[in-house]
Each structure stands twice: as structure tokens, then as C-alpha cells.
């Protein structure tokens, strides 16, 4: 916010309405006191807990914002009429307060100006670590690229954070210097809003230099840096060796015949498992935790995937919602990213269920795989049947897709359609451990737990009153259907945040044994069906089908 520009706007606003005679310093100070009292009135009769949660309601938040804006506007007008520089006065007062009240704990240094890095991607393509070494003071990355140009920004998100990297495509018109003019426009736009920040153009094109020199003459901190990736050193060889190499007869070597394996797009469960393996390896090596979990997830996706950020977001959410690789005991799932990474890097508790090895798709010899390795064994079926029986009803998968992901994860396969996965599912259905109808999964009671019928006797026993049947708990699919029906009746006030959507789902799952767990399952199911799309930061939601 430019305070001086705002003060000039307030002067023009008052002059257009002939309010200058009333805007004396005394009147402005009295108006400031009245507006402060109106702001206090909103919190006066609330407890401390109620005041902390007042702005959660949209209407109350708007009222508080209006009163705060009134106080700020009168304060700026009072400073304008008295000739007080607000920014200078604030800095001076902070210094006085620091001398008057010494710090009891180490203070964080005041944040310095941001460094905006504007990359001409049609000219240079530095990676994240190369950009960090080239401009160490950079904080925000803007990548300007052509409409059909491929941009691999995972290394930049890993180095700077996902929220600090922006991709700006050039319009489809293929005009000369179109991207250069677009980048120059963005420098002017950002500098108008943030005049005290640094601006660095990363390009080998010297055509930017006159514009940057003009910006420096106006008082802006702007410059251009060149980038050239260093080529690996070439080992010099003598002429005699070259001649010998040319004359030497080639020797025939038998090369093994490889059968290429088609790369299959990984699932969110596979990426989550890769992250668990990498984080534990980082903990063993004594390295720190990654600053951005989603960028770290995206860096683990090596296969060609249409939506890498979306897959990384789903894998991160899967780690937050289900403690994969952390043991199958009844533990609280970490909710924050830092707590989640610490839980993964801490030694896992022993568990009776064998953890699968991470699956890596590579080229293997044609005769390396045998038919026996692609078949499910009896031990696989027994182990998974015991695991499903040991799960609480609220934790069991309610949809066929969820069950396939669980089987794929425990069998260590690359796809939910792998032969071992389908064979185990068929065996579980044949043993009546699992029943699937219209993609809805149910779990019949185990044969060992079925009551043994008593033998009939000649004497007729007295009729006992019938025990009323327990009301069945709603499944995730039933709750999802009810939630979609309610969302269809809400044209304007649908939840826009993922946390709000989870609370909205919980209101439809009040009869469930664990409404919060059902809400997480329903939300994951809606995301898998694309009824709900989560924003890249994992907080906002949209509804493309409504």
C-alpha cells in the first residue's frame, strides 16, 4: 500500500465534497476517537475466546474490516493535515520502543526488500539451484515463456517455495519481441505497486538494458544478469591416440536384449511412498526437512504426467489424511506439514504388517520376470484379509477405487490393475471377505465370527421378544451422494475452502461412527471423481461440474 498516494486520494475525495473546512486536526482527532470506539464496541461484551473467533463469520469479518478502515483513513488524514510522515514516525517510534523495552528473546531481523527475478525463458532456462547461485538475494520468481514452450518449474518451487514461483505465458500471437514487451510491462506493473523492491531480469538479451537504465534513473533498483550453463570439461587427447582409435578394429560384443516397459503414470499412493522413503533417508543422513512439501513431492515425479502439481497435491493430502508408512496402530494423523515430516523422519513403531518396497519402473531383461512373480500367493491373500479384518469399520475403504489403491500399496505394484491386485481382489471376493456392488465395497462378517445355530429340541421354547436391529451406519458413498445433492441446491454459497467443505460434509455424516474420518474419505472420493478440484496450495476448492 502506498500511503502517500492514499493520502492524496483522500484529499481529492474531501475537496470534491467541500469537506476541507471541517477537516481540522481537532475534528479529525475526535472523529478518529469515535471510530475507535465503534471498533471497540464490536469486541466489548465478548470473552477472549469469542473475540478470537469473531471474524470466522463472513458478515462479522466485513464489519470489523469496515471499522478498521475508518480508523486508518482518519489517521492518515490527521497525519496529512499535521505534516507528519507516517512511515518515518513509525520507524522512529519502533526504535524508541526497542530502547525502552529491551527484548527478552532474540528478535528476528527485519525482512529486507524482495528480489523479483523475471526470467526470459525463451532466451535462458536456468534451474532452481542455478538461479539461486546466480542471484542469491532473489525471493520471487516470474517465468515468462511461450504458449507451446515446456517449462519444468519443479526445481524452482523446491528452491523458492510453490507460492513464490509464477508462470506467465506469452499470448498466442507470434509477434517479434512480444515476450520482451510483456516482461517489461510486468516490471512497470510490479514496481508501481512495490517501488522499494529489487528487480532482476535474467536474460542474455541486451535489449532490456535501455529500459533498465531508465528505471535506475528514476530511483528503482533494477538490473539484468546473464546466464550460461557451464559445459562439462573436455578431456584433451593426443593425435596419435585419435589415429589409433580410428584404425583399431571394432570388437563385437553381445548386448543383452531388453524389453522396454511402458511407463505408467504413478498414483498418489506411489508418490507418497517415495516421499516417505526419501524423507527417512534424509533423516538418516542428518539432512534437514524440505521447506515446501508439495514442491518436494513434485520433484519425485519422474514419469510423464499431465498434471504434476495436482498429483503432488493429492499425494501430500494422502500423507496428511492417512499415516502411510508410519505404522498401522491407532495414532493421531499429523495435520501440519512440519509435524507430518517430523513423524515420517522419526523411527516408526514395529507393525505386524509387512511394509512394501518402493516400486521403481525400469527397463529389465525380457526373461527377468517369471510367471510366478506376477501371481498372487496364498500368503498375500491371507495377509491382506487379516489386515482388512483388523481395520476399524470407519477406516475401511468404502469404494472399489479406494480398495484397489490399498491393495496396490500393500502389494507394492505400480497400478491398481496389476495382475496380482486383481487376483487378490478376486480371492477376497471368493472367500466372501469383500463384497462389491456398483463400485460400493462392503465387508461381510468373518466366517469364524458367525454364530453356530443351536440344535432344535422337541420342546418349544417360549418366544423371546425380538431385539431391534441396529441402524446401519452411513457409508462414504452414501454421504458423498447426499453432499452432492446439497451442493447442487447451493448456487452461490458453496464452501470455497477445503476446511469449510470438510465441516460441511461432517454435517451430513453425524450418524457415522467417526464423522471426521468419514468427511476425509468423502472429500478424497469427490476429488477422485473430479466433483471437487483442490487449488495448488491445497486450501481452496472449486466445483467444475456445478
Please tell me the distance from the alpha carbon of residue 517 to that of residue 513, in angstroms, as a whole number: 9
Name the CATH superfamily housing domain 3-100: MazG-like (1.10.287.1080)
The residue whose grid cell reads 509477434 is 175
Q: Which fold has domain 115-225?
A: Rossmann fold (3.40.50)
The answer to whether the CB of 38 falls within 8 A of the CB of 67 is: yes
Calculate what percentage of the chain has a pLDDT beyond 70: 76
Residue 32 has φ and ψ, to the nearest 5°, of -65, -40
Q: By C-alpha distance, which of 434, 282, 277 is closest to 355?
A: 277
d(CA 168, CA 144): 5
What would the grid cell of residue 22 be?
471541517
Q: What is the pLDDT of residue 230?
A: 76
pTM here is 0.35
- The pLDDT of residue 225 is 95
CB-neighbour burial class of residue 333 (10 A; exposed 0-12, middle 13-18, buried 19+): middle
The alpha-helical segments, DSSP class H, found in 371-529 are 378-390, 400-411, 419-430, 476-488, 498-508, 515-528
pLDDT of residue 459: 46
Residues of the chain with CATH 1.10.287.1080: 3-100
Measured distance CA(299)–CA(142) in Å, rounded: 19
Rounded to an integer, the average pLDDT of 173-177 is 77
276 confidence band (pLDDT: 50, 70, 90): confident
Residue with the larger pLDDT of the pair 497 and 292: 497
Residue 141 contacts residue 131 (beta carbons within 8 Å): yes
User: pLDDT for 323-372, tens place per residue?
Assistant: 444 443 333 444 455 555 555 555 544 434 444 444 444 444 444 444 44
Distance from chain centroid for Cα 417: 27
Cell numbers for 31: 472523529
Closest to 439 (Cα-Cα) out of 471, 473, 414, 475: 475
What is residue 199's DSSP assignment? E
31-56 residue pLDDT tens: 999 999 999 999 999 999 999 999 99
Q: What is the pLDDT of residue 382?
A: 86
Q: Which residue spans of the chain are classified as CATH 3.40.50?
A: 115-225
Question: What average pLDDT is seen over the chain?
Answer: 79
- Give the other-Cβ count within 10 Å of 57's Cβ: 10
Q: What average pLDDT does the segment 278-296 reach? A: 67
Check residue 348 and give its pLDDT.
Answer: 43
The more confidently predicted of residues 291 and 523 is: 523
- Give the distance from CA 446 to its chain's centroid: 40
For strand 198-202 and strand 221-225, is the pairing parallel, antiparallel, or unpaired? parallel
Q: Please tell me which of 82-86, 193-197, 293-297, 402-406 the model is most confident about, judged by mean pLDDT.
A: 82-86
Return the CA Rg of the chain.
32
How far is Cα 107 from Cα 17, in angstroms, rounded to an integer? 47
495-545: pLDDT as tens digits: 999 888 888 898 888 888 888 888 888 888 888 888 888 888 888 989 888
Tens digit of each residue's pLDDT (9 = 90 or more) over 416-440: 778 888 888 888 888 888 899 888 8
Higher per-residue confidence, 362 vs 272? 272
Instruction: Reduce the secondary structure of 65-130 to three states and give it as a string.
Output: HHHHHHHHHHHHHHHHHHCCCHHHHHHHHHHHHHHHCCCCCCCCCCCCCCEEEEEECCCCCCCHHH
Averaged over 148-164, what is the pLDDT?
A: 91
Confidence at residue 345, expressed as pLDDT on a 0 to 100 scale = 52
| Distance, CA of 507 to CA of 474 (rounded, Å) | 13
Residue that wins the pLDDT comparison between 390 and 340: 390
Comparing CA positions, the residue from 382, 372, 432 lying closest to residue 410 is 382
Decide if pLDDT at 145 tops 90. yes
For residue 261, pLDDT over 50 is answered with no
Amino acid at each position: 500500500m502506498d500511503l502517500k498516494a492514499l493520502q492524496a486520494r483522500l484529499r481529492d475525495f474531501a475537496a470534491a465534497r467541500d469537506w476541507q473546512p471541517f477537516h481540522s486536526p481537532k475534528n479529525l482527532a475526535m472523529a478518529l476517537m469515535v471510530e475507535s470506539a465503534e471498533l471497540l464496541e464490536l469486541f466489548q461484551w465478548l470473552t477472549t475466546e469469542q473475540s478470537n473467533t469473531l471474524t470466522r463469520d463472513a458478515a462479522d469479518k466485513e464489519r470489523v474490516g469496515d471499522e478498521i478502515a475508518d480508523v486508518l483513513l482518519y489517521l492518515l488524514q490527521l497525519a496529512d493535515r499535521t505534516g507528519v510522515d507516517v512511515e518515518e514516525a513509525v520507524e522512529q517510534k519502533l526504535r524508541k520502543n526497542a530502547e525502552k523495552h529491551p527484548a527478552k528473546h532474540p528478535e528476528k531481523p527485519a525482512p529486507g526488500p524482495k528480489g523479483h527475478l523475471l526470467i526470459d525463458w525463451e532466451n535462458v532456462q536456468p534451474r532452481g539451484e542455478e538461479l539461486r547461485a546466480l542471484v542469491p538475494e532473489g525471493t520471487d520468481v516470474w517465468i515468462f515463456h511461450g504458449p507451446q514452450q515446456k517449462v519444468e518449474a519443479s526445481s524452482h518451487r523446491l528452491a523458492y517455495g510453490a507460492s513464490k514461483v509464477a508462470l506467465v505465458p506469452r499470448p498466442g500471437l507470434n509477434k517479434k519481441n512480444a515476450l520482451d514487451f510483456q516482461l517489461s510491462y510486468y516490471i512497470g506493473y510490479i514496481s508501481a505497486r512495490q517501488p522499494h523492491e529489487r528487480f532482476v531480469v535474467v536474460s542474455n538479451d541486451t535489449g532490456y538494458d535501455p529500459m533498465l537504465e531508465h528505471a535506475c534513473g528514476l530511483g528503482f533498483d533494477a538490473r539484468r544478469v546473464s546466464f550460461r550453463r557451464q559445459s562439462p570439461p573436455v578431456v584433451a587427447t593426443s593425435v596419435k591416440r585419435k589415429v589409433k582409435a580410428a584404425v583399431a578394429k571394432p570388437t563385437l560384443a553381445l548386448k543383452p536384449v531388453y524389453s522396454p516397459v511402458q511407463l505408467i503414470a504413478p498414483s498418489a499412493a506411489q508418490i507418497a511412498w517415495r516421499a516417505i522413503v526419501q524423507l527417512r533417508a534424509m533423516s538418516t543422513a542428518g539432512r534437514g526437512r524440505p521447506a515446501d512439501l508439495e514442491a518436494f513431492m513434485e520433484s519425485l515425479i519422474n514419469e510423464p504426467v499431465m498434471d504434476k502439481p495436482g498429483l503432488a497435491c493429492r499425494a501430500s493430502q494422502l500423507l496428511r489424511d492417512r499415516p502411510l508408512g508410519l505404522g498401522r496402530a491407532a495414532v493421531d494423523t499429523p495435520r501440519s506439514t512440519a509435524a507430518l515430516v517430523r513423524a515420517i523422519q522419526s523411527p516408526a513403531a514395529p507393525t505386524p504388517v509387512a511394509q512394501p518396497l518402493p516400486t521403481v519402473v525400469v527397463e529389465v531383461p525380457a526373461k527377468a520376470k517369471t510367471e510366478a512373480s506376477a501371481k498372487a500367493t496364498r500368503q498375500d491373500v491371507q495377509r491382506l484379509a487379516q489386515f482388512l479384518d483388523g481395520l476399524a469399520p470407519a477406516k475401511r475403504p468404502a469404494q472399489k477405487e479406494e480398495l484397489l489403491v490399498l491393495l496396490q500399496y500393500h502389494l507394492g505394484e505400480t497400478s491398481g490393475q496389476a495382475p496380482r491386485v486383481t487376483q487378490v481382489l478376486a480371492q477376497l471376493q471368493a472367500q466372501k471377505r469383500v463384497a462389491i456392488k456398483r463400485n460400493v465395497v462392503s465387508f461381510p462378517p468373518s466366517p469364524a465370527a458367525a454364530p453356530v445355530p443351536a440344535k432344535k429340541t422337541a420342546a418349544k421354547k417360549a418366544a423371546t421378544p425380538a431385539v431391534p436391529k441396529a441402524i446401519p451406519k452411513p457409508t462414504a458413498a452414501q454421504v458423498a451422494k447426499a453432499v452432492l445433492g446439497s451442493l447442487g441446491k447451493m448456487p452461490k454459497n458453496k464452501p470455497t475452502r477445503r476446511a469449510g467443505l470438510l465441516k460441511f460434509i461432517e454435517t451430513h455424516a453425524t450418524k457415522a461412527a467417526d464423522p471426521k474420518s468419514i468427511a476425509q474419505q468423502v472429500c478424497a472420493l469427490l476429488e477422485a471423481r473430479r466433483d471437487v478440484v483442490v487449488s495448488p496450495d491445497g486450501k481452496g476448492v472449486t466445483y467444475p461440474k456445478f
